[in-house]
């Protein structure tokens, strides 16, 4: 990251699948909710990672996603997690009635006081472990069906309560505490922009809140900054590095489309196709923004979600595509005349990829070696712009 001039590592540490972070105040979360004793991060591990990052100019931003993506918490605290360990999309039900957007159910129950006892212990420990001034609190993909499956929430809804009020209660019980620990809170954009479950902006003070966008490209960035919030841009249409490798859900009919011309389906990958370096390079994260709005964009972030990524494929999934983003964010993707620089960028990225390989980074190849040995011969003379 340092060599590529990337300076923030956003670490999405926990999820419904596993809680691998050992915390002094809540040891059972990792002891019972991780994949096992060999797949844990101790406080000493975290200190090593944070120190290594700072030595190389890279901030380590922790994310403890909640209230959704918390199924793993139920192994230690089943009373605070709604719809835990249920089948994610019951047979014959509509997509709108699913319990999660992928296998691995569970959302913290905002009505249970013990939820906040546990969560504040978690937040306090994480803040102590990470000196970073931002704390990513998640807030994405709250699935109505999961909360509706909980008897206490059913009772709340039957008395004219709403799911958005549940989320507002959750935010109002946690955001002030995070702020009291001298942290700025980062949320995924869903907390403000979701169609079904979202909070009123009055619960999200712009001076203490940053929103990270991952849907609808420049449109959602515009909605965030025009509302006065700072933005981190990780639009899935351009910056999700895990896309295009198929889905991990089995028994999925999306794998079996009719073999008609031009219809190969998406192979179960919700965000296909694969995001090429050109797609990443040509994205302007300030597109359509006024100069004042552009100042609220803190930067961009490529994301490699790890449902289908582990150390065996890590380097090639990230590099050199992340290098392409780094150049555009530091140097822009246009020359002095305003013309896109993607043509000349190919030669730079190709050479840079070989330099990374020589350093032991297993970056993905962009061109045959023949192209480096024959400069210009791998270009096209017919640009489409």
> 87: helix, coil or strand?
coil
β-pair type (81-82, 107-108):
antiparallel
Residue 290: alpha-carbon gap to chain centroid: 26
Residues 20 and 42: their CA atoms lie apart, in Å, by 9
The closest alpha carbon to 378, from 354, 333, 346, belongs to 346
- Respond yes or no on whether the N-terminal peptide bond of residue 146 is cis (omega within 30° of 0): no
Residues 62 and 8: their CA atoms lie apart, in Å, by 10
Enumerate the active-site residues.
141
> Helical H runs in 99-250?
113-129, 144-148, 151-158, 163-180, 190-193, 217-226, 236-239
Task: Order the strands of the 134-138 sheet from edge to edge.
Answer: 8-12, 59-66, 134-138, 184-188, 209-213, 230-233, 297-300
Strand partners, 187: 138, 211
The closest alpha carbon to 62, from 131, 139, 16, 141, belongs to 131
């Amino acid at each position: 990251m340092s060599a590529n001039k990337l300076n923030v590592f956003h670490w999405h540490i926990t999820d419904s699948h596993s809680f691998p972070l050992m915390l002094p105040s809540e040891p059972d979360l990792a002891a019972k909710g991780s994949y096992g004793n060999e797949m844990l991060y101790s406080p000493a591990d975290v200190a090593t990672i944070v120190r290594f990052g700072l030595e190389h100019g890279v901030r380590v931003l922790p994310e403890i996603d909640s209230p959704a993506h918390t199924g793993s918490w139920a192994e230690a605290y089943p009373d605070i997690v709604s719809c835990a360990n249920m089948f994610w999309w019951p047979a014959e039900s509509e997509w709108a009635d699913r319990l999660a957007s992928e296998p691995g159910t569970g959302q913290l129950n905002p009505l249970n006081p013990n939820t906040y006892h546990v969560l504040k212990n978690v937040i306090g420990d994480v803040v102590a472990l990470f000196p970073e001034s931002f704390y990513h609190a998640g807030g994405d993909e709250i699935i109505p069906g999961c909360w509706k499956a909980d008897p206490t929430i059913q009772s709340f809804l039957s008395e004219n309560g709403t799911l958005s009020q549940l989320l507002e209660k959750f935010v109002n019980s946690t955001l002030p505490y995070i702020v009291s620990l001298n942290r700025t809170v980062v949320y995924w954009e869903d907390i403000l922009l979701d169609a079904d479950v979202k909070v009123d902006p009055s619960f999200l003070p712009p001076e203490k809140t940053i929103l990270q966008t991952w849907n609808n490209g420049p449109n959602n960035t515009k909605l965030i900054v025009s509302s006065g919030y700072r933005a981190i841009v990780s639009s899935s249409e351009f910056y999700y590095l895990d896309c295009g490798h198929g889905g991990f859900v089995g028994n999925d009919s999306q794998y079996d489309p009719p073999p008609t011309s031009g219809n190969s389906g998406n192979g179960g990958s919700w965000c296909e196709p694969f995001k090429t370096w050109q797609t990443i390079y040509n994205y302007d994260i300030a597109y359509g923004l006024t100069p004042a709005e552009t100042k609220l964009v803190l930067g961009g972030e490529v994301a490699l979600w790890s449902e289908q990524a582990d150390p065996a494929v890590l380097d090639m999934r990230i590099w050199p595509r992340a290098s392409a983003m780094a150049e555009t964010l530091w140097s822009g993707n246009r020359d002095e005349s305003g013309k896109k620089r993607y043509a000349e960028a190919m030669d730079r990225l190709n050479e840079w990829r070989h330099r990374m390989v020589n350093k032991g980074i297993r970056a993905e190849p962009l061109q045959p070696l023949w192209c480096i040995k024959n400069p210009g011969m791998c270009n096209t003379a017919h640009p489409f712009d």
